[in-house]
Amino acid sequence: MGMGIRGTSLIASKSGYFNRFRDIMNKRLCILHANCQGEPLLARLNASPEFTDQYECRIITNYTREAIPDGLLERCDLFLYQYLNANWGELASDTLLGKLKTDCKSLCIPNMFFAGYWPFWNGKPGFNYRCTHLDDIINMGLPDEETVLLYLRSNLSQKFDLNALLHQTIAQEQQREAHTPIKYVDIIENEHGQHRLFNTVNHPNARLMDHAATEVLRHLGMTPPDRAVLDALGDPFPEFEQPINPHIAAHFGWPFGGADAQYNVYGIPMSHARYVANYVSCQKAGIEDFIGYLQGEYRES
């Protein structure tokens, strides 16, 4: 008897599986050593058929100090990394580069950061999206409503040199940019006031992530994806748009960040004023997990 349809389908299915397995085995290994920007960068690199035809990529998250499995670096064919200095010990970039085989390609990629929209941001542990100016007002011990109003009515242009703070964050980013051949600070400097470029201090939007991916591909001698393909990927970090203080937006004359602006805060449309009220309530309740608080994890049922 001839083979039935079911048997033919089974063989075709197995054949397809083994073909895919063979394709993966024939690809070269790419390691992407990066922070949260690694996933959206890889999504854009994978939009290039040239890249996906040649490389099977594995992301190793640097800021969590994720361990790199033994032997992985030694097998690597393409090492894409954000620069980490000697303070990172065994994860320092120079240490990792020394473990690569001689014919492995390596490319330092951007690690983009910009505090211009949030000049009082501070990365001190113990609270997410910390604002030092708001913390100072909270520490005055006023009732919640007075704390919020005092902050919202603060004349920041009189209290602080906002221009100097903006220049400072750009200068710091120029120092970080010096480690990579992929230049991006000129985009931040020239365009940050025209349209919003970051959702948080280290969550760049599509404009910058598309640029980074395009330049990585060009450095690898590959053709970048068409504009429409990149546009279809959307916002790389859509879940949270950190609100901008309207006084800062007004000081610089930005066409965004006004008092009426609404931001996506973990699925909830929220104004800057409401965000500040949540910040104050969370801090005064002694809750360190501000992200969880904004997501509703501490609401009473």
Which residue, of 39, 74, 109, is where some domain finishes?
Answer: 109
- Are residue 52 and residue 183 in the same domain, yes or no? no
The answer to whether 30 and 5 have CB atoms below 8 angstroms apart is no
- Are residue 100 and residue 145 in the same domain, yes or no? no
Portion of the chain with pLDDT greater than 70, in percent? 91
**φ, ψ for residue 164, nearest 5 deg:** -65, -40
- Are residue 151 and residue 261 in the same domain, yes or no? yes
Does residue 145 fall inside a structural domain? yes
pLDDT digits (tens, 9 = 90+) for 49-96: 999 999 999 999 999 999 999 999 999 999 999 999 999 999 999 999
Residue 10's pLDDT is 58
Cα-Cα end-to-end distance for the chain: 66
Give the predicted TM-score (pTM) of the model: 0.89
pLDDT higher than 70, residue 45: yes
Does residue 294 fall inside a structural domain? yes
Note every long-range contact of 119-122, with CB atoms under 8 Å and residues 24 or more positions apart, other chains counting: 119/160, 119/162, 119/165, 119/166, 119/169, 119/248, 121/201
Structure-token match 């450095």, residue found? 219
Which residue, of 89, 109, 129, is where some domain finishes?
Answer: 109
Q: Report the distance separating Cα 128 and Cα 16, nearest Å.
A: 47
pLDDT digits (tens, 9 = 90+) for 94-143: 999 999 999 999 999 999 999 999 999 999 999 999 999 999 999 999 99
Does residue 246 fall inside a structural domain? yes
- Are residue 133 and residue 280 in the same domain, yes or no? yes
pLDDT higher than 60, residue 27: yes
- CATH for 25: 3.40.50.12080
Residue 36's pLDDT is 98
Portion of the chain with pLDDT greater than 90, in percent? 90
pLDDT digits (tens, 9 = 90+) for 183-211: 999 999 999 999 999 999 999 999 999 99
Q: Report the distance separating Cα 226 and Cα 230, nearest Å.
A: 7
Which residue, of 44, 79, 109, is where some domain finishes?
Answer: 109
- Are residue 179 and residue 140 in the same domain, yes or no? yes
Token pair for residue 240?
């949270």
Q: Report the distance separating Cα 62 and Cα 92, nearest Å.
A: 10
The answer to whether 176 and 111 have CB atoms below 8 angstroms apart is yes
pLDDT digits (tens, 9 = 90+) for 257-268: 999 999 999 999
Instruction: Give how many domains the chain has, as a whole number.
Output: 2
pLDDT higher than 90, residue 301: no
Q: Report the distance separating Cα 120 and Cα 133, nearest Å.
A: 6
Q: Report the distance separating Cα 136 and Cα 176, nearest Å.
A: 29
Q: Report the distance separating Cα 131 and Cα 290, nearest Å.
A: 12
Higher-pLDDT residue of 2, 156: 156
Domain that holds residue 66: 17-109
DSSP state string for 67-112: PPPTTHHHH-SEEEE----GGGGGGSHHHHHTTS-TT-EEEE----
Average of per-residue pLDDT values in the chain = 94
Residue 299's pLDDT is 75
- In which band, very low, low, confident or very high, does the pLDDT at 26 lie, cut at 50, 70 and 90? confident
How long, in residues, is the chain? 301
Distance from the Cα of residue 13 to its chain's centroid:
39
